[in-house]
């Protein structure tokens, strides 16, 4: 471990493995992107002197469950295969980490070009500057699909419903910070880290964390959101990943990601009957949260996509329970699901009546 003088440990700093990470963060290319460098540096410094010890891998499965080596064919993942996917036309869910926005019409080539700019020594503070990441690159025939990834053996059982959508890959470069958020409602995210160094900050969806985070959920994040979460949320765990490995991100784990190097992970979704209690509780949380939003005069358009996501969770559970209709878990889950179906129909009515009111208001 090479320690720059300014990064030598001080009294009260105990998560010393992060000093190496801080050294990377404080070096080019990241040190050349002031906006991201500053925020990330503050986050890592806070983690180094965090009042509790934070190993580089969680020791339990509250946030992440490790599955060891990924199940795949003989061809290993490579940057070249990933680029074949990225350079296909289509929606790759591109995000600009400097301005914290998504832009339409950004191509795979634009994403790659932005990865190279920090090494040109051009001014990274000029207003036209972008640092893109592609958050959902579908696997294609000439790309990572040739690796033939599959979910681990134990998930190949009818108690588990695997998404039939193509696996998608997240590709980000050094300095990218995805601020704290949570994805979906109750589904598990099966992931394979492919390459590069990435630091995950993870918080379990405890009652306190959900209550505290509800106001930020789906909202555009400010650059201090993750620092704020470090102060406010409980149960922080870290995961520093550098090599190919499979893991499951538990439902609604709050997470932030820092790309220390250019890095990629790929994945799919799994609905797990044995975990139905936790999962359906999160669908319920989502419905309540959404009801709260749609009952106020919050712009409907902001929540339509999220309402569709909740509906897709319910459809997945209907399919999973149908496949397992004779099992005790499915019978117990079914009565909970009926309640959620009812709440969803109430939510849809509310959407409709607010839509009609808006139309009337416009006509008057
Ligand atoms: O890698 C990142 O920056 C974000 C990844 C993420 O949030 C996810 O895969 O759910
Ligand atoms: Fe995420």
Express each pLDDT in 260-301 by its tens digit.
999 999 999 999 999 999 999 999 999 999 999 888 877 877
Express each pLDDT in 177-227 by its tens digit.
999 999 999 999 999 999 999 999 999 999 999 999 999 999 999 999 999
Instruction: Please give the pLDDT value at position 7.
Output: 56
Where along the chain do its domains lie?
5-48, 64-273, 275-363
- Please name the residues in contact with 265: beta carbons below 8 A apart, sequence gap of 6 or more: 169, 170, 191, 192, 193, 194, 198, 241
Pocket of ligand 1 (CB under 6 A): 170, 172, 176, 178, 183, 255, 257
**From the candidate CATH numbers 2.30.140.10, 2.60.120.650, 3.40.50.1820, 2.30.30.230, the one assigned to the domain spanning 64-273:** 2.60.120.650
Structure tokens at 35: 């906006």
CA distances from 69 to 114, 192, 306 (A): 31, 9, 33
Ligand 1: residue of 257, 259, 266 to mutate (most ligand atoms within 8 A of CB) is: 257
Q: Over 50: is that where the pLDDT of 2 sits?
A: no
- Tell me which residue has its CA closest to atom 6 in ligand 1: 257
Burial class of residue 286 (count of CB atoms within 10 Å of its CB; 0-12, 13-18, 19+): buried
């Amino acid at each position: 471990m090479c320690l720059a003088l300014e990064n030598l440990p001080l009294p009260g700093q105990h998560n010393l493995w992060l000093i190496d990470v801080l050294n990377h963060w404080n070096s080019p290319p990241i040190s050349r992107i002031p906006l991201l460098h500053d925020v990330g540096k503050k986050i890592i410094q806070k983690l180094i002197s965090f009042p509790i010890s934070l190993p580089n891998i969680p020791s339990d499965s509250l946030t992440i469950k490790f599955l060891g080596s990924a199940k795949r064919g003989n061809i290993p993942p490579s940057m070249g295969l990933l680029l074949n996917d990225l350079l296909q036309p289509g929606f790759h869910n591109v995000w600009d980490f400097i301005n914290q926005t998504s832009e339409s019409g950004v191509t795979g080539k634009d994403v790659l070009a932005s990865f190279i700019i920090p090494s040109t020594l051009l001014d990274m503070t000029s207003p036209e500057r972008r640092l893109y990441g592609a958050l959902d690159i579908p696997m294609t025939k000439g790309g990572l699909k040739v690796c033939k990834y599959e979910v681990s053996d134990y998930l190949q059982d009818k108690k588990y419903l695997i998404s039939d959508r193509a696996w998608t890959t997240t590709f980000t470069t050094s300095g990218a910070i995805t601020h704290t958020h949570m994805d979906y409602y109750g589904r598990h995210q099966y992931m394979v880290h492919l390459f590069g160094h990435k630091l995950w900050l993870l918080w379990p969806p405890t009652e306190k964390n959900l209550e505290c985070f509800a106001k930020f959920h789906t909202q555009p994040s400010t650059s201090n959101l993750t620092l704020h979460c470090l102060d406010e949320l409980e149960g922080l765990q870290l995961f520093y990943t550098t090599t190919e490995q499979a893991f499951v991100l538990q439902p609604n784990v709050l997470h932030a990601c820092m790309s220390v190097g250019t890095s990629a992970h790929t994945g799919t979704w799994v609905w797990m009957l044995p975990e139905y209690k936790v999962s359906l509780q999160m669908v319920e949380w989502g419905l309540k949260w959404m009801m709260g939003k749609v009952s106020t005069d919050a712009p409907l358009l902001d929540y339509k996509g999220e309402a569709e996501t909740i509906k897709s969770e319910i459809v997945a559970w209907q399919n999973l329970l149908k496949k397992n209709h004779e099992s005790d878990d499915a019978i117990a889950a079914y009565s909970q699901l009926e309640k959620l179906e009812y709440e969803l129909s109430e939510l849809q009515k509310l959407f409709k009546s607010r839509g009609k009111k808006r139309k009337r208001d416009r006509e008057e």
